[in-house]
Amino acid sequence: MAKEAAAVVMDMGYLRHQRAWREEVARRASSLVIEVEGEVVVPARITYPREAWNAQVLRRKISPLLDRFIRVLPELAPRKSSLGLDMEGVQITNPVTLLADLPVDQSVPPVELPAGTEAARARLQEFLERKISRYHEDRNNPTVDGTSGLSPYLHFGQISPVEVAWRAREVGGPGAAAFLEELIVRRELAANFVLYNARYDQFSGLPPWARETLLKHASDPRPTRYSLEELERAETHDPIWNAAQMELVRTGKIHGYMRMYWGKQFLLWTNDPAEAFRWAIYLNNKYALDGRDPASYAGVAWCFGLHDRPFPERPVFGRVRPMTGAGLRRKFPIDVYISRWGKRMP
């Protein structure tokens, strides 16, 4: 198709396989190939020319650029509709039949989440009307529904982060400020990570201090160990972790604060930190609707020290920030979360 087109327009992709796809199209196409930024608000190569070690570094660079890039563009109607083109399309009215012919893991159950731009905008509108005013207070509480729920839609390109940022800016206030920090600074820090760190999906891609301290404590006693299958089925002694895993399997997402706890516990229950990292990436990519996303890779890597600072040394974790079930119980009525999700897989 690209060989016959006057021009090819592609959206930006920061992951390894996305860049490979686009490079392949560019090599094969005989016409003009244009790549348009739609993944983030400020293109990652403009924001910073190398890997940023933490959010503070990127925040200083990105803040002066926001007014330039947060603009609403008019929705233009094409001069000629593509619906009249004489070409064979893909039948998508029966997604089950379509998926049966694809090389995907058929064991992952479907989740109940409406897809598409219309659903994404409805979710955004609900968030702006009901939740954003308290976002700075509720976003880290897994026992309340205080997040935007937009991550899957952003991941699949069903809503633009620029549109979301514009609407949040219009609302204003401390909740909107906290949300924009997550939507822009933290999300684009993740894009920076996968763009400039070729090993973003590997233990070896962690900061040197984090790798060194985790390897130093790799031989520390780990009284309880689980197989990957036991973890996948949420069959651990920890009801909090089981609930987080079940939320992931049933809904395709984990509350952001719980994903931090979920990811860190792999260090306690696996043979070594490299295996812990590998299994966390595997389960997140398998079940999360925003799996294989820059923010998803960075979120898992954060559990192992990425974009964080060293903490006082302790067994297993070394100087990587620990998270404990007791700490969660002090912060939240965590039994509410457990009762909501804490049942094993059927």
pLDDT digits (tens, 9 = 90+) for 131-155: 999 999 999 999 999 999 999 999 9
Predicted confidence at residue 345, as pLDDT, reads 53
Angle at 283 between CA 278 and CA 287, to 5 degrees: 150
Query: Domain limits of the chain?
Result: 1-36, 42-72+115-196, 199-341
What is the rounded CA–CA span in Å between residue 278 and residue 263? 11
Non-local (6+) Cβ contacts of 274 within 8 A are 203
What is the rounded CA–CA span in Å between residue 319 and residue 310? 5
> How far from the centroid of its chain's Cα atoms is residue 250's Cα?
17
What's the average model confidence in pLDDT over 279-287?
A: 98
CATH 1.10.579.10 holds for 199-341: yes
Q: What average pLDDT does the structure give for the chain?
A: 95
Assign a CATH topology to domain 42-72+115-196: 1.25.40
The residue written with tokens 């603009």 in the block is 71
- The two tokens of residue 54 are 């933490």
Q: For residue 259, give Cα distances in angstroms to 131, 168, 241, 333.
A: 21, 25, 9, 17
More confident site: 83 or 332: 332
CA dihedral 226, 232, 236, 239 (to 10 degrees): 150
What is the rounded CA–CA span in Å between residue 63 and residue 42? 10
Is the distance from CB of 295 to CB of 195 less than 8 angstroms?
A: no
